[in-house]
Structure 1
Amino acid sequence: MKISIVIVTYNRLHALAELLESISRQTLKPFEIVIVNDAGESVQELIELYHELPIQLIELKENVKHVRARNIAVSKTSGDAIMLADDDDYFTTGHIERMAAALREYDFVYSDVEIVSFNTTDHTRIPTSRRLFAYNDDLEEMRRFSTYVPSGSLYKKEIHEQIGMFDPDIHNYWDWDFFLRVAKSFKIKRVPVASVIYAFSNTGNHQSSQLNEKRQHYLNKLSAKHQLGELSTKNFFVLLEEPEMKNREAESEVVWDGKPMHSRLVKRTFS
């Protein structure tokens, strides 16, 4: 199996370095890593620092936003399986090998994650809190609230030949839309191991009324596309505490040691 890792990045040099560091430590290495720099700061020095990784860098001159940039990356892959990765997340050792084993009997596999908040010291993100994110994957429940995290998920590239690319018109909810489209025609498996470290902050302006209006707009488009009915835009962590979500909680193996990911970029800076 030839695995192509797809990464879209925009002005997250040190976080991206941590992701590449985690890939360099994997027990199974990818066939290729396609990075699309969406008109952000240069990441060329990371290509040099992680020279043993099979990185293909695509530099965009215009910022096309994350969904279109992801489609560009997928279109440039030459492997037969695609693993998605957000540039501010990273993987625990053994993640790729475990997901590749699961894909042998399925078309699309995704793992549980740990939601982690960080503080940054000397360009290294230090974990300050962690929360297991593991939920059963009943399709009807996934239509009400998606617990699919795209980072670290792996699927057969041929899926795109049948259902097309990611939908930029859904924007924030491209991953939920993709999951629902895949579920109609392909075999999906949730891997009950929290082997992806998912960076998430519950601070800042992402809860502003203006941004919530935009999210509601895209959520309405998603709902109309899949006939999902009325969907909530409540705060993410508030939703997780509601009875419906508590009932969906599932057991998972926690494998992360909780230590920060020290990249070669930081080591070079302070050596």
Structure 2
Amino acid sequence: MKPLISVIIPTYNRPGALCELLECLYRQTYKHLEIIIINDNGENIDFVSSLYSELNILIIDLKENVKHVVARNEGIRRSSGDYILLCDDDDLLVPKHVETMLEQIAGVDLVYSDAEIVEYETVGKTRIPVNRLLFAYDSDREAMRSFSTFVASGSLYRKAIHDQIGLFDEEVYHYWDWDFYLRVSENYPVKRVPIAGTLYSFATSGGDNLSGSLSDMEPFLKLLSDKHDLGPLPTKNFFLLLEEPGVRNRQAVSKVVWDGEPTISRWANIS
């Protein structure tokens, strides 16, 4: 019997992007999925269940806005799968992504792929890609203590991991994914998959990316550093950090599989 994969998606008032992600999940070659959408006290999204009736969708409506880490933890608690696949509501996956990740997890406990960082402009109800940048870096745990290149969106892992290390750390907030990688890799084998199967949405000119406010991020970076004894860590613009010599030296070869076309969702075709 094929294993059930629980896809955990926190969302808040981004129905267009969410529907594009659901379109990507509908197109997946691996079909045994449980889609758990945690609506973080945003606008009603019940319509997506009928719009994508072929998908096994569970919507959890939170009574207050608890932010994305708490929302993810609630999704984990409600999940039924043997595996967890994480994805932000504005990120996308290529059609063979889930199948590839499931194949690659044999012999390890967590796999994550390379990504393409994509900037969009919205035309009507569809995001049109205008810039793309390959994000592919060698997996080196020691180097990850200085700068994390772990892409949480699209990562797949065995749910049983949480039985030992607990849920995502809500205290470190912006850095929940970096913290998760460090905790998992300390106890379990982890593997990078050199295929850019995740399309990571990032607005270089601002937008609503969490990475936008450096001053807001600094106290959480200190919490992360203190927790893992990482020492002083720079608070810089994400793209400036990619130019640091220590990060540039980790750049790796990856297979690019996205055709560059926008994802047209069913919601986009509703007038």
Distance 1:146 1:115 in 2: 15
Aligned match of 2:102: 100
Q: 2:31 aligns with which of 29, 32, 45?
A: 29
Question: Aligned equivalents of 1:234 and 1:96: distance in 2?
Answer: 33
Q: Distance in 1 between matches of 2:4 and 2:239?
A: 37
Give the residue type in structure 1 aligned to 2:268: V
1:80-111, Cα deviation, whole Å (9 max, x unpaired): 10000100001001000000001122100000
Cα displacement string for residues 161-182 of structure 1 (whole angstroms, at most 9, x for unaligned residues): 0000001100000000000000
Q: How does 1:33-52 map to 2 (within 5 A)?
A: 33-52=35-54
Of 225, 228, 231, 1:229 maps to 231
Unaligned runs of 5+ in 1: none
2:222 is equivalent to residue 220 of structure 1:
yes
Residue 88 in 1 paired to residue 95 in 2? no
Unaligned residue ranges in structure 2 (runs of 5+): none
For 1:239 and 1:125, the matched residues in 2 are separated by: 27
CA RMSD, aligned part only? Answer: 1.5
Q: Distance in 2 between matches of 1:255 and 1:222?
A: 34
Query: What's the CA shift for 1:206?
Result: 7.2
Q: In the alignment, does 2:185 pair up with 1:170?
A: no
Cα displacement string for residues 21-54 of structure 1 (whole angstroms, at most 9, x for unaligned residues): 0000010024311110000011111111000100
Matched with 1:147 is 149
What residue in structure 2 maps to residue 267 of structure 1?
Answer: 269
Per the normalisation by structure 1, the TM-score is 0.96
Shift of 1:211: 3.4
Question: Residue 253 of structure 2 aligns with which residue?
Answer: 251
Distance 1:8 1:30, change over 3 A: farther
Query: For residues 90 and 213 of structure 2, what CA distance do their matches in structure 1 show?
Result: 21
Kindly indicate whether the alpha-carbon contact (under 8 Å) linking 1:5 and 1:30 is maintained by their aligned counterparts in 2.
no
Q: C-alpha distance in 1, partners of 2:85/2:132?
A: 23
Instruction: Find the counterpart in structure 2 of residue 53 from structure 1.
Output: 55
Query: 1:213 Cα deviation (Å)?
Result: 2.3
Cα distance, 1:204 vs. partner? 2.6
Number of equivalenced pairs? 268
Tell me the distance in 1 between the aligned counterparts of 2:192 and 2:213. 31
